[in-house]
Each structure stands twice: as C-alpha cells, then as structure tokens.
Chains A and B, each alone.
Chain A
Amino acid sequence: MTAYLKLDHIDKSFARGGQVSEVLKDIRLTIDKGEFVSIIGHSGCGKSTLLNLIAGLTKVTAGAVLLEDKEVDSPGPERAVVFQNHSLLPWLTVYENINLAVSKVFGRTRSRAERHDWIMRNLDLVQMAHARDKRPAEISGGMKQRVGIARALAMEPKILLLDEPFGALDALTRAHLQDAVMDIHSRLGSTTITITHDVDEAVLLSDRIVMMTNGPAATIGEVLPVPLVRPRRRIELSSDRTFLRCREAVLKFLYERHRLVEAAE
C-alpha cells in the first residue's frame, strides 16, 4: 500500500540577495489516511515552512510532496490550513467567512440549501452556530480559532493542516480547543498535521510526533509513535505511564540532544 501523504526527499532553501540559506534538508515522511501527526521543534527550525510546503503555499527546492501519489505544487482546498492568527476576514460575519469557502469549493456541485446546511453543520461541529451573525472582532480569540477550524473543515479537505493553531490562546481556552480538535478528529477521521511547540499538546493529540532538528538545514530527527488509546482524557493521562514516557522522550530530544543554542546563550 502506498502512503496517503508522502514527503519525498524534500529540500527547501531561500535565496535572498545572492545568499542562499538552506532551511530544510532531506525531509522524508509518510502519513497514513486518518492519522494525526504533530510536528514539534524549536522556533526557527522550519516547522512552518514545512507546513507551507505541504499546503503548497511555498514551492519545494528539491523533492516532492505527494498526496495520493499526485504531486502538489500549488495551494488548494483539499489541503485546508488553519492559521495561527485565525485570518478570518474581518468584514465578513462568521457565517459569511465560511460561506466564502463553501460557495467557492461547492458552488457548482451543491444547491444553495445544501450549502447552507453544510455551513451550519460545520458551525455546530465547533459549537459556534450561536455566533453565526457576529463579526470576528466581536468574538474571543478561542472562538475565532474555532471558526477558523470550521472554515477549514467546511472545505472537506483530504488533509487538515494546523499551523500552531492554539499558540495565541490562554491555557484554559487552549485545553478546550484541544478537546474539540480530538473530538472532531475521532468523528471525521480527518488526516491532520499540526505544528506545535507545546510538548503536552503534541503527546495528547498525536498518533505520531515528528521531532525536528535545529536549523539551518533542519531535518526530521526522530519520529515518536504515541501508543495511547483513544478517546484520550487529559486528566487520566496526566498520570499515565505511556503518556509520561512519551512526554519525557520529546523533552529529552528537545532539551538534551537538540538544545537550541541561541536560546541558551
């Protein structure tokens, strides 16, 4: 069986004014359908660049991103991204923001009533149906991120890409959203890649954790499977041996073997 998503020997370098800086080198990874994968690493290691490559927002220098054996080199709704700062359009209401995506992706294939039902279903999924007529400025940061997730899910993507989706949120809101994401993942079985720098979050959410070495020319240092059964509950996990072992492994990777030198100085 071939992999659902395959990152095949990817290199990425940026050229600026004659200087070439190598960001990613020899990234090799395969992800199965329905898998939840976290990418973790110190800041500046190229996590976001890697996600942008999968999204097609940036082009690879060498190698290829293959989704169902087809090369992707441009962005599209089958690889929906939830951005760190939600990036909802402030002049549209919650409903209109999702409608923009739904009418573009399903404008030809679904009737107006079907599209409306689909938008409401996705809003219900993130428990935001009550705020459908609010503008982004009128709702909290956590709510905006929920709407951002609903917008991405409404595109019915093959892969859901989350770019540090909870980074800007307070700890309690973050926990709520993590639960929401786990719940959605268990219901829809969506293949999900999330970027994070939070070790607990990575262990809690993922089937596998991809740990990146430090840049320049960062690559995948280690891939850690998280053999915890789902559904996972954060309170029970806090004393679970497997959870603690995985957490320790990630911490050791990040702070012993690949300590960020600049941050320590």
Chain B
Amino acid sequence: MASATDSRYGQKESSDQNFDYMFKILIIGNSSVGKTSFLFRYADDSFTPAFVSTVGIDFKVKTIYRNDKRIKLQIWDTAGQERYRTITTAYYRGAMGFILMYDITNEESFNAVQDWSTQIKTYSWDNAQVLLVGNKCDMEDERVVSSERGRQLADHLGFEFFEASAKDNINVKQTFERLVDVICEKMSESLDTADPAVTGAKQGPQLTDQQAPPHQDCAC
C-alpha cells in the first residue's frame, strides 16, 4: 500500500514544483544520536540542545543546486526507538538515500548499525544509497567509537563514511552533498546500463522535470 501511494505523491508533487530531481532521504539511527539536530543544522543551519524527542516521523524540504541541476531534497526525520520502526519503515519505500547515524559517544548506537542496515535492505529499494555517519564528533573526550571502527564497519557494509557534528557544523553539508552525488551517480549509472527494472519509468518524455527514481518497479 505504502509503495503505491508513495510513488503517486512523488509524481504529483514533482509536477507543481520547479526542480529537476527530487530525492527522498531518510535519516535513521538509534534514539538520541542526533538525527533531528543534524537535519536542522542542514536545513535551517541552526542548533539547539533543547530538542524534544521525535515521536513518529517528520520531514523537511531543502532545494539545492548540484551539478547544474535543481534538486529538491525531502529529508525525513524518524523516531529512533525500536518500536517506532513499525511506523517508520513504511517510509523506507521510495527513499533513494539513507543517512544511517550513530553516536560516537554511545557504543550501543554503533552496535545497532548492523541492525539498521538490515532494516534498510529489508524495507527499501535495492539501489538506495546509504551513508554511515558518526555524529557528535565534537565530543572527542567522550568518544567510545573510534573513527577507525566506524570506517571499517562502513567498508564492511559497503557504505560511505563520515564523522560529523551537528553542534559544531562539521561535515553536515558535505554529508548531504556526497549523498546527493552518490544518488546522481547511481542514477546515471542506471541510465547508462539501461537496466529495465530501474530505467523503465524514467524513459518518459518528461525526464528532466520528472522525479528520477522509478520505484514503482523496484523490488520492494
């Protein structure tokens, strides 16, 4: 159900906005790793320690110029607690990018990365791009997860890796831009290889102002 409806809104929305692509990106990770702060730092360039716990799901929209294209990012912020996955996984479908976040001062959040990665594989489109982000890198004193371990895990899972800080605005923009680049690369790669499962919906006449992902036909 969600898949069908998600793809519908995507197409309809793209028709009344002025942009070349629209990417749907989800930020996931354990509770209190800093997902909301990360999103607000990127979308509003603001930070406050006084965020309330996210309940359910929320999103923000930001339009960027990248590679001469106007790209509209729809960034979804999810509740981290495990039981909320029943609600949030409905939004995995149709997402082209994921920011999987852990807290470098919280071992448990790092240990959960594997689990989150499984969730992505289970509920999302196969071609979804994932970035692993170790947040709160400004809190070096309290670090329990070394950069090296993070990088190793990212390599193991096949994700790109960043360490970032929403508080000090380290690597936040870079993370999103890299994700957009990766998605764009993957998209053009798909176009080049003309994988029918991926490009089928993109061959239409409105390619330029049409949302890129053909997730109607994706394997979800």
Do the two shown chains form a genuine complex with each other? no
